[in-house]
Amino acid sequence: MNVLVTAGPTREPIDPVRFLSNRSSGKMGYELASAFAGDGHKVLLVSGPTALDVPEGVDYLPVETAAGMHEAVGHHIGRMDIAVFAAAVADYTTAAPATRKLKKSADTLRLELVKTPDILGSARQTFGFAGTLVGFAAETENLEANARDKLTRKGCDLIIANDVSQPGIGFDSNHNEVLLVYPGHARLLPRTSKHELAHQLVQAVLELHLAKR
Ligand code: C5P
């Protein structure tokens, strides 16, 4: 199977030395890429900047910004059977990054932000992807309802939902607990290491892919 995985945060430039980003470590996406590769699949990992080593046997395409990730995904998704979007893409980027380093002069500084492209939302609608589409949802409330809404809006087959208000799991942690939200039902995968969880998720995604065909 050809599998695309997006992972990590994006960096949205403010000026040549500063950026807007988030706390994503990229661990969940890298563990998934590694688990798919270990299971014999051909994996392309499109990743924002992380401190992680590229997993063995995985093709790696580094990107910086949401726009860069959107372009990379658009270029490669056409030949994929499965696409899993684990990246924590910045929702907003600067309207016009400064070409020179901003000086510390005024007491306040206003940045104008504009929405980034919705990469997961583009998969079906813009890129015409017909394979198995899996997204993540990080929520602090109404986990299943919000994930189900995302599932429908973005044409996903599965949303892997995280409750990010729970301490010790999710963002920047080695552990996670997720709710698998399918069109007709939901299933909890209890708290475990991201490494172990990645193997369970790969099995769930492959089962889904085979059932769909
Ligand atoms: O809407 P929200 O950011 O919660 O959606 C999360 C899902 O959408 C994740 O799978 C994430 O990788 C993906 N996403 C994306 N492009 C964006 C924002 C989110 O692919 N601009």
Q: How far is the CA of 154 from the centre of ligand 1 (A)?
A: 10
181: its two tokens? 């939200």
Kindly report, residue by residue over 131-180, the tens digit of the pLDDT. Answer: 999 999 999 999 999 999 999 999 999 999 998 888 777 666 788 899 99
DSSP state letter for 107: S
Provide DSSP, 118-174.
Answer: -HHHHHHHTT---SEEEEEEEESS-HHHHHHHHHHHTT-SEEEEEETTSTTSSTT-S
Kindly report, residue by residue over 93-123, the tens digit of the pLDDT. Answer: 999 999 999 998 889 999 999 999 999 999 9
Q: How far is the CA of 104 from the centre of ligand 1 (A)?
A: 33
* Position 9 in a domain: yes
Domain count, the chain: 1
pLDDT at residue number 170? 66
Kindly report, residue by residue over 67-94, the tens digit of the pLDDT. Answer: 999 999 999 999 999 999 999 999 999 9
pLDDT at residue number 195? 93
Q: How far is the CA of 213 from the centre of ligand 1 (A)?
A: 25
29: its two tokens? 């996406």
Report yes or no on whether pTM surpasses 0.85: yes
Q: In terms of Cα–Cα distance, which of 23, 20, 33, 64 is closest to 171?
A: 23
Residue 33's CATH number: 3.40.50.10300
Nearest CA, atom 5, ligand 1: 137
Residues with CB under 6 A from ligand 1: 6, 66, 85-87, 89, 116, 118-120, 135-138, 150
55: its two tokens? 């997993």
* Position 106 in a domain: no
Quickly tell me which residue has 């729970």 as its tokens. 166
Q: Which of 39-43, 101-105, 178-182, 196-200 has the lowest mean pLDDT?
A: 101-105
pLDDT at residue number 165? 85
More confident residue, 119 or 24: 119
pLDDT at residue number 213? 76
* Position 126 in a domain: yes
Question: Is 22 a catalytic site residue?
Answer: yes
* Position 103 in a domain: no
* Mean of pLDDT values over 55-64: 98
* DSSP β-bridge partners for residue 188: 179
CA angle 111, 9, 92 (to 5 degrees): 30
Q: In terms of Cα–Cα distance, which of 156, 133, 149, 153 is closest to 73?
A: 133
pLDDT at residue number 172? 67
Domain that holds residue 189: 2-96+111-212
